[in-house]
Amino acid sequence: MSNQRLFNVAVVGATGAVGEQILHLLESRNFPIKQLKLLSSARSAGKIITFKGQEHTVEEATPDSFKGIEIALFSAGGDVTKALAPHAVEHGAVCIDNTNAFRMDENTPLVVPEVNLEKISEHKGIIANPNCSTIQMVAALKPLQDRYGIARIIVSTYQAVSGAGSLAIDELLRQTTASLNGEEVNPAILPVGSLPVKHQIAFNAIPQIDKFQDNGYTLEEMKMVRETKKIMGDESIQVTATCVRIPVVYGHSESVYVELKNDYDLEEVKQLLADAPGVTLVDDPANQQYPLATEAAGKPDVFVGRLRRDLGFERGLNMWIVSDNLLKGAAWNAVQIAEHISKG
């Protein structure tokens, strides 16, 4: 008989794309749950979700929903987190948040377990999950930072529509069907921003993810800049990003150029990445083997390939990084943190 401690767990945003993945992981990994509470907006309340063969009714999330809850996994939008997470903390819960609400708060650890697991112990009730595109990049760059130091990162992302939620997936599929049938395409969801202007995503690439900021970068791009520095623990790293939405359902891809502080050996870099936790090296160009979104979908790892020395800068390194944005980019990273907490 196991003496493992069991936890009262709440999942906020249980009916969303990330919430569904969190529940799947909690079930498949047999997370030590005593009581499970599924929470959502009023719109989704009342839905029935089966977990480990038992039906659970989704409840509307309110400040009183967290009485007795010990671990709360939030994935229901930043406004929901800001409104409810403080109440959850008051009730004694540790909140693991998938939104942007507290990521840059100086009192909130921003954690990728493969990079800065030790930061979890510094939490004051809330632990932030980084942005999906940031998570996969820093997981791949951490072993290089430790070995050589990193001076500069230039990243271009090719991000799946699932990063914008289930409505964006529906829009891509609907537009693709309409385009193939020669019918009119009526964009309604993407890009997600402050303006009513929407663009076709089917057979297209939209160089905007989130709202534009005063400096000409989008919020998604600035998230990558700020979060990378915080997670890597080095404000001196220069980061610039261009984030693009492409017609892929699952899996973000990134072209990353990194300038290292010290000379490197390419074969040693490959070995460092092959040995890194949570990273899978797929780098055999002679046989056309490199990371693909279709291969990464449904898998928890970060996949790295196309490793090559830069042609113009001796300490420059080019690489291609791919990961399932709903798994390592969100749900799996959050569950990893929850598992660490559960083990004390």
Say if residue 309 carries a ligand binding annotation. no
Question: Residue written as tokens 């973000």?
Answer: 252
Sign of the CA dihedral running 208, 214, 219, 220: positive
Say if residue 75 carries a ligand binding annotation. no
Please state whether the peptide bond connecting residue 86 to the residue before it is cis, i.e. omega within 30 degrees of 0: no
Say if residue 129 carries a ligand binding annotation. no
Euclidean distance between CA atoms 28 and 25, whole angstroms? 5
Pick the closest to residue 231 from 332, 95, 99, 112 (CA basis).
112
Say if residue 162 carries a ligand binding annotation. yes
Question: Residue written as tokens 């932030």?
Answer: 128
Euclidean distance between CA atoms 215 and 222, whole angstroms? 10
Say if residue 17 carries a ligand binding annotation. yes
For the question of residue 132 being annotated catalytic, the response is yes
Q: Count CB neighbours of 12 within 10 A.
A: 30
Say if residue 159 carries a ligand binding annotation. yes
Among the options 91, 123, 132, 243, which is catalytic?
Answer: 132
Say if residue 245 carries a ligand binding annotation. yes
- Kindly state the tokens that stand for 189: 């969801």
Pick the closest to residue 159 from 247, 51, 95, 49 (CA basis).
247
How many Cα atoms within 13 Å fall on the side-chain side of residue 156?
A: 7
Say if residue 147 carries a ligand binding annotation. no
Among the options 87, 91, 123, 252, which is catalytic?
Answer: 252
Sign of the CA dihedral running 121, 122, 125, 127: negative
Say if residue 35 carries a ligand binding annotation. no
Question: Residue written as tokens 């660490």?
Answer: 340
Say if residue 15 carries a ligand binding annotation. yes
Do 337 and 111 meet the contact criterion of CB atoms below 8 Å apart? yes
Say if residue 44 carries a ligand binding annotation. yes
Say if residue 213 carries a ligand binding annotation. no
Euclidean distance between CA atoms 227 and 128, whole angstroms? 11
Q: Which residues are catalytic?
A: 132, 252
Q: Which residues are annotated as a binding site for NADP(+)?
A: 15-18, 43-44, 162-163, 325
Q: Which residues are annotated as a binding site for substrate?
A: 159, 245
Q: Which residues are annotated as a binding site for phosphate?
A: 103
Q: Which residues are annotated as a binding site?
A: 15-18, 43-44, 103, 159, 162-163, 245, 325
